[in-house]
Amino acid sequence: MNSKPARHTNYFGQHDLPQEQQDALARAVRLEWISTVIRIFTVALIFSLAGSSQAMKASWIEDGLAFIPPIAFLIAVRYISRRPTPRHPYGFHRAIGVGHLVAAVALLTFGLYLFVESAMGLVTLEHPPIGMLEIFGVSVWAGWPMAVASVLVAIPSVILGRMKIKLAPVLHNKMLYADADMNKADWMTGLATGGGLLLVGAGFWWADATAAVIISIGIIRDGVRNLRGSLAGLIDARITTTDDNTPHPLLTELQEVLEEYDWVAEAGVRARDQGQVFHTEAFVVPRGQTLATLDELEEAREYCSDLDWKLHDLVIIPVSVLPEGFLFRDDDDANEE
């Protein structure tokens, strides 16, 4: 029996990442730990200054919910490297998909809460009673330190979000992408809160809640998009790019490579997105009555596996006719639900 492993896979269900992805994953883990530590200080700061401001209270709750994506990511990363078991023969890559779902729900929950809470403030004509604070013996309007704090806590979110969103495609990690969206919600909320408070100080009582409503709409949109993407992955919908906008081009590339073999008349491919890697099945129709030898099939499998590190647990299955109804095709409707 040939026990030689594939270049990136030691066991079915377990995956050794290439060096670039290993480095990216290590950086992502560090960023999530940094995010968690920074979040502890920002939550404490915003909570201490929140007062009766709708936007500040929403910002505090958002900061609390923002703990969920990085913690879920750190937990999922610990699972994906585990070997398969008889109970989990495909390994634990789906932990990333579960974490993506958790992050999406947190994002959507915050957006909905922010919208309802702020809209109710506008409907009831609630004027935010922002009082005075004494700082080093000097009385100042509480809106000033609130606005400054809101802008200051947004700065780390801008930096961390940009760093995470660059790593997400490298790792094909939609959970990290959703967390970057959460960071975007952070800094958008912070800037809107600061601006709303300054307008309240200028006499526009409605600016505080209006700013929160406007920001909440964008957050809800991102939450819905991430929720749809996470659910699609968990129910084995067609694999897409990290931003869930387009079908992933890797399946078309794999299909074209297979059809270049002289013993293949036609090929079709399907894959499950298991988080960072694809469980891939390639169906090939032999040309004429010529069947590929075991060595030819194995050579083709190893060559195709090396096209991209995400082609995980790739199998090549000879068939007389391609199955109907599920194989990836260029002319499929990309928006099919």
Convert the pLDDT of each residue in 11-63 to its tens digit.
Answer: 444 556 788 888 999 999 999 999 888 888 887 877 777 665 556 666 677 67
The residue written with tokens 């940009």 in the block is: 162
| Token code pair at residue 81 | 């490297």
The percent of residues in the chain predicted with pLDDT above 70, rounded, is 82
pLDDT value, residue 167 = 92
Per-residue confidence band for 272, with pLDDT thresholds at 50, 70 and 90: confident
- DSSP string across 165-190: HHHHHHHT-HHHHHHHHHHHHHHHHH
Per-residue confidence band for 163, with pLDDT thresholds at 50, 70 and 90: very high
pLDDT value, residue 257 = 92
pLDDT over threshold 50, residue 334: no
Least confident piece of the model among 119-123, 162-166, 235-239, 305-309: 119-123
Instruction: Quick: pLDDT tens for 226-245.
Output: 888 888 888 888 888 888 77
The residues, ordered by sequence, that sit 6+ positions from 124 with a Cβ below 8 Å of its Cβ are none
Section 313-337 average pLDDT: 66
Q: Are 256 and 330 in contact (CB under 8 A)?
A: no
pLDDT: is 140 or 162 the higher one?
162
pLDDT value, residue 258 = 92
Instruction: Quick: pLDDT tens for 171-219.
Output: 888 888 888 887 887 787 777 777 777 777 777 777 777 777 877 887 7
pLDDT value, residue 294 = 87
CA dihedral for 29, 35, 36, 37, sign (positive or negative) = positive
Domains of the chain by range and CATH? 19-234 (1.20.1510.10), 239-337 (3.30.70.1350)
pLDDT over threshold 70, residue 73: yes
Per-residue confidence band for 337, with pLDDT thresholds at 50, 70 and 90: very low
pLDDT value, residue 34 = 92
Judging by beta carbons within 10 Å of its beta carbon (0-12, 13-18, 19+), is residue 137 exposed, middle or buried?
exposed
Average pLDDT of the chain is: 79
Q: Are 261 and 318 in contact (CB under 8 A)?
A: no
pLDDT value, residue 313 = 81
Among residues 309, 306, 265, which one has the least CA distance to residue 283?
A: 265
Instruction: Quick: pLDDT tens for 239-267.
Output: 888 887 788 888 889 999 999 998 888 88
Per-residue confidence band for 9, with pLDDT thresholds at 50, 70 and 90: very low
The residue written with tokens 């099919």 in the block is: 336
Predicted TM-score of the model (pTM): 0.77
- Spell out the long-range contacts of 76-85 with Cβ–Cβ below 8 A and sequence spacing 24 or more: 76/175, 76/275, 77/25, 77/28, 77/29, 80/15, 80/275, 80/276, 81/14, 82/14, 83/11, 83/13, 83/14, 84/11, 84/12, 84/13, 84/14
Instruction: Determine the Cα–Cα distance for residues 42 and 33; give it in Å rounded to an integer.
Output: 14
Per-residue confidence band for 64, with pLDDT thresholds at 50, 70 and 90: confident
The percent of residues in the chain predicted with pLDDT above 90, rounded, is 7
In one-letter notation, the amino acid at residue 29 is V
Distances (CA, A) of 106 to 23, 40, 68, 112: 28, 17, 7, 10
pLDDT value, residue 27 = 93
